[in-house]
Chain A
Amino acid sequence: MMAEPLLAIEDLRTYFYSRSKRAFIRSVDGVSLAVAKGETLGIVGESGSGKSITAMSVMGLVSAGPGVISGRIGFRSDRVERQLLEGLDTCVALRREGGRVMAVEKDDDRWAGQVEKNMTGIRGREISMIFQNPKQSLNPFETVGRQITEAIMLHTSHKIEQEAKEKAIEWLDRVKIDSPRLRFDNHPFGLSGGMCQRAMIAMALSCEPHLLIADEPTTGLDATIQSKIVDLLAELKSELGITTMLISHDIGIIGRLSDTVAVMYGGTVVESGPAKDVLSCSPEGKHPYTAALLASIPSSDAVREKGHLQAIEGDVLDTINIPAGCRFYGRCSRVTDKIREKCDKQEPDLREIASGRRVRCWLYFE
């Protein structure tokens, strides 16, 4: 059924300990995902749903003081096979007082060393990432071309500078940057936001990674530029067939680029499946959150009739005080009396309800 997964995330939990609140912020709380070779997995969710932290966990970027990770992330390409979270748990100790975690003691140096060990040959080489903020992700003191050239020399077999430079220009051309030879010598501040994002994409792809993680690649860009970047990503996808993990809050973009979609809410995946099913208009077989999210987007019809938007009442989940029951229970409009008790008390698991489609909702379980 499903092709061999390139990246398999199992029960990933990434928590950040907040000292002032003496509690864990459970940013990612039990996420299991698999990205098959050649497919694009779209992860959609609102802010605080944990989608970006999931990506950061994969890239080994959760190093900041109080962050702790558990679970398994397996990466397997024809070049490497590795567990990306190996040995991280030994670097953390919890100090408890009266049943409450009072502090997290983390051996930062060992943690960093372990991450480094796990990620060598993976980061940049096997998995590369593009970020939301292209201007800030590029080094402002280096020309764009040099940065790409460096990445190529570091990660691929092109070790001669001239050769790498040619390769870089080729990539700049490939991401449709006008007159790449001229742009090669530009500093990031000399480029517009859209151009910077193109340069970022060129840099990420120039090392020919197996997996591309695109974290909100269009957010913050103007609408016209956004659609151009999406066009470019679609084109590169069909051209190179690169496996992509696309993270966005914009359902339009996810819908255009993804093969499979995972919808995240409050640190968990509430629904996953083929893009066309998950993002279709009918609420049938959907998690109530997905359905409501789709309905709250101003559709052309709603706009034309100037009707009311169907908003989801309530607020995004507080990832510290996670309720015992379903995370969406407080905002859900489709709770029936029959399952109310369960929704309130017991968290549903992510179950397969049709081939390839998984939903985390009592509505669909007997």
Chain B
Amino acid sequence: MSKTILEVVDLKKHFTHQRGIFSALQEKMRSIPAVDGVSFYLKENETVGLVGESGCGKTTIGRTILRLERPTSGKVIFDGRDITLLSTDELRGLRGRMQMIFQDLDAALNPKMRIRDILTEAIGVHHRLTDAETEKRIAELLDQVNLKKSKLTNFPHELSGGEKRRVGVARVLSVGAQFIVADEPTSALDVSIQAQVVNLLRDLQKRLGLTFLFISHDLRVVELMSHKVAVMYLGKIVEMGMSDKIARAPHHPYTHILWSSLTEKQSREVAKRAVSVQAGRWGVFDFERPAAGCRFAPRCPVYESKGRPAVCTEPATEPQLVELDGGHRVACHFPL
């Protein structure tokens, strides 16, 4: 059994809206729970996929894990140390081992620096190497991400989307990261390039033993990349389990609807299996988190078909993640 590399315990991140200096004095702040009590763990050399619609808090989780945001409460234990308690300097040392691939292709690339300088700088952050060693390391990185050497003298704006993504990955690898949060790494790319990047990431995982937290809204890519998948809805994980179970035998109505939105045969099979689910009013609502109870209830077809049972909307009974079988966990009163 491989060891746990990252554990997230009851992580919460609330954003406060503060309007001007006077509202701060009045203590009149609106708090928006972007992440509202999330727990999960990652084992070494494993990929966990995090899916959900935009605004469900999946990116915030990734950023909070790397402490680009400070969590409101909860623990993030990386390699035995709670990173929420570390000082900035201790954290900087740890950044050599945990990294993030940003959704934005240009994120890692200072527009005024050549690719060689970008990589040289990144290598220099956590390792003291001589010029010759740096040169060798750059060649190695280029080989790993399959990028032409001639691109080193280019500026970022001269690269195509796929090449930018490769440089981004090379930069992340250059510091020697073992754990990588990949935030929508393919969504800004064309279909044909997406496949290249997915293949690249999977190759790298095999070759370098990387651990990924793979955040995406593209269900097929997540399923392909991940060993386990966690489905998020409005700041909470509603279902979690092995990726093929999540895709083919979902228990939460939301997961079910997500996958059946794929316009492929596979989802039709699922649709047949649970005929009782009629997503009739689905998507017609502007959805907001209800005041109490299950977050998904206002959009939930099961809630509707069961005649709106009170248990779904009572404040005391917000469904918690319950283990069903073989590590599959779901937060629903009426799992499918």
A residues apposed to B, CB below 8 Å = 46-47, 176-178, 190-192, 194-195, 222-228, 230, 249, 251-253, 255-256, 292-293, 296-300, 302-304, 306, 308-313, 315-316
Contacts and interface: CB of A to CB of B under 8 A. Distances in A.
Contact of A304 (B163, B219, B244): B244
A300 B286 CA distance: 31
A300 B247 CA distance: 10
A223 B199 contact: no
Contacts of B54: 222
A239 B299 CA distance: 27
Contacts of B257: 224
Contacts of B263: 227, 230, 252-253, 255-256
B194 to A, nearest CB: 7
A105 B193 CA distance: 37
B282 interface: yes
A249 B244 contact: no
Given A308-B199, A309-B198, A249 B283 contact: no
Given A223-B217, A252-B264, A308-B199, A297 B191 contact: yes
Contacts of B53: 222-225
Contact of A249 (B162, B191, B198): B191
Most buried by B among A191, A227, A252: A227
B195 A311 contact: yes
A313 to B, nearest CB: 7
Nearest to A255: B263
Contacts of B247: 303
A174 B320 CA distance: 39
Contact of B160 (A178, A300, A312, A316): A316
A298 B160 CA distance: 22
B217 A222 contact: yes
B160 A315 contact: yes
Given A300-B264, A300-B265, A309 B193 contact: no
Contact of A303 (B199, B223, B286): B223
Interface string B231-248: 000000000000010010
A296 B283 contact: no
A224 B261 contact: yes
B8 interface: no
A253 B262 CA distance: 10
Given A224-B257, A315-B160, A176 B284 contact: yes
Given A304-B244, A306-B224, A316-B190, A299 B262 contact: no
A111 to B, nearest CB: 29
A224 B190 contact: no
A190 B196 CA distance: 39
Interface in B32-64: 53-54
Nearest to A294: B191
A72 to B, nearest CB: 30
Contact of B284 (A178, A226, A227, A256): A178
A296 B190 CA distance: 10
A251 B191 contact: yes
B196 A223 contact: no
Given A223-B53, A252-B263, A311-B199, A296 B223 contact: no
Nearest to A186: B286
19 contacts: A46-B190, A46-B192, A178-B285, A192-B286, A222-B53, A223-B218, A224-B261, A251-B191, A253-B263, A293-B191, A296-B191, A298-B223, A302-B224, A306-B224, A309-B224, A311-B196, A312-B195, A312-B196, A315-B163
A194 B282 CA distance: 12
B220 interface: yes
B271 to A, nearest CB: 11
A298 B224 CA distance: 8
Interface string B251-288: 00000011001111110000000000000011111110
Given A252-B263, A293-B192, A311-B195, A223 B283 contact: no
Contacts of A293: 191-192
Given A227-B261, A228-B282, 7 more contacts: A191-B286, A222-B217, A225-B53, A230-B263, A252-B263, A300-B266, A316-B193
Nearest to A178: B284
Contact of B193 (A228, A255, A297, A315): A315
A251 to B, nearest CB: 7
Interface string B181-202: 0000000001111111011001
Nearest to A308: B199
B147 to A, nearest CB: 11
A249 B190 CA distance: 8
